[in-house]
Amino acid sequence: MTRPAFRKIVLGLAIAPLALGLVACGKKGTTDGSTSAPVSSEALAKVPAPAGKTWSDMVEKTAEGGYRIGNPEAPIKLVEYGALSCSHCAKFATDGFGTLRDTYVNSGRVSYEIRFFMLNAYDFPATMLATCSSTEAALPLAEQFWAWQPNMFEKLQAADKSRLEAIQNMPKEQQLPAIAEVSGMTEFFASRGISRDQASACLRDTAKAKALADQTEKAGKDFNITGTPTFLINGNNVGSMEFKELEAKLQEAGAR
């Protein structure tokens, strides 16, 4: 389905208007509003996790609507604005998330927070389903979705064009479930414990969809997020980059 068609669906859901099409997946380099990452002349000391746990076991939903793992008092606070439909976010998850979690988050020096960003109408059902269960399940489901993401695009390409176009004319409460069904999302999440009934209820939550749209709009205004993945380190927008570049910035900030 074309981007304008998806925009019509999203706006038809009474979701706050988004500049869909003005943001991009995989914008390289720093953004216009980016600032310098913090630099530490000395390596920061590792912080032991609570007895019997690792820091990556510590998960909480933040006031900004994100999902954070790690030491809540970590001196280096990493935030990713990521989209589940973004192939560059999927590459970051594949290439770097394991190292980020095991080497940096589990050191107690870095916390990691994912804030879901709505690039297009794929992201609404994907995010609503990934966050349909417990707080602890959201990030693992997102990581699994990014690994599965190519299958979504294959299913959409193979789908009958008339079926895709018909989604635009459905009642608004049926549109996101229809996108989830035709893209294979419903089946994907069902195989991971989100039953079809549970998925249907989550996808009909238009208040949550609007909240995701509002969070995306706020991210653009507050942090000049113009592409995904874009990273903040201690509140500074350091731009969109691959894991090796981000790892260097974490080390410069003292996680070395």
Domain of 169, CATH number, reads 3.40.30.10
* Cα separation values, 242 from 71, 92, 146, 248, Å: 23, 6, 15, 10
How many structural domains does the chain have? 1
pLDDT at residue 168, rounded to an integer:
84
Q: How far apart are CA 66 and CA 91, in angstroms?
A: 20
Q: What is the pTM of this model?
A: 0.88
Task: Give residue 83's pLDDT.
Answer: 98
Residue 26: predicted pLDDT: 73
151 is a domain residue: yes
Q: What residue ranges of the chain have pLDDT lower than 70?
A: 1-24, 27-37
Residue 28 pLDDT: 56
Contacts for 134-138 with beta carbons within 8 Å, 24 or more apart? 135/59, 135/60, 135/61, 135/67, 136/59, 137/193, 138/61, 138/67, 138/114
For residue 102, is it within any domain?
Answer: yes
Domain range for 184: 3-22+57-252
Q: Other CB atoms closer than 10 Å to residue 97's CB: what's the count?
A: 19
Q: Does some domain include residue 12? A: yes
- In this prediction, residue 45 carries a pLDDT of 96
In a domain, 221, yes or no: yes
**Numbers of helices and strands, H then E, in the chain:** 10, 8
Question: Rounded CA gap, 14 and 43, in Å?
Answer: 49
In a domain, 32, yes or no: no
pLDDT for the residue 4: 41
Structural domain contains residue 31: no
Residue bearing tokens 């990691």: 112
SS3 91: helix
In a domain, 35, yes or no: no
Flag whether 220 is in a domain: yes
